[in-house]
């Protein structure tokens, strides 16, 4: 099974926080930087309906424009974290 995808923008404090949390918990994701990557940005917008990061695609279930308060329950729902 492919890894969940985490769309981020460099310098975004919420993105940095999500990456740090996922690393600390050893939760593997594919990280995609959308800044300066038109194709990745369009993919994220099509998936989530918005252009804010971080956005996560967990095998078809999308969590968009989130902080740790939203990420932690989302991960627990999927049996990780």
Q: 5-77 is classed in which CATH architecture?
A: 3-Layer(aba) Sandwich (3.40)
**Mean pLDDT, residues 46-54 taken together:** 96
Query: In the structure, what pLDDT confidence band is assigned to residue 81 with cuts at 50, 70 and 90?
Result: confident
**Mean pLDDT, residues 18-39 taken together:** 97
> With 80 as the cut, is the pLDDT of residue 53 above it?
yes
Unique residue bearing structure tokens 């969590």: 63
Residue 50 CB contacts under 8 Å (≥ 6 apart), including other chains: 64, 65
- Give residue 67's pLDDT: 96
Residue 72 CB contacts under 8 Å (≥ 6 apart), including other chains: 21, 81
- Give residue 9's pLDDT: 97
pTM of the model: 0.95
């Amino acid at each position: 099974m492919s890894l969940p995808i985490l769309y981020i923008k460099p310098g975004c404090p919420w993105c940095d926080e999500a990456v740090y949390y996922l690393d600390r918990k050893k939760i593997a994701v594919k990280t995609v930087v959308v800044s300066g990557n038109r194709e990745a940005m369009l993919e994220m917008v099509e998936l989530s309906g918005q252009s804010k990061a971080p956005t996560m695609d967990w095998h078809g279930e999308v969590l968009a424009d989130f902080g740790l308060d939203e990420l932690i329950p989302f991960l627990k729902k999927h049996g990780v974290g």
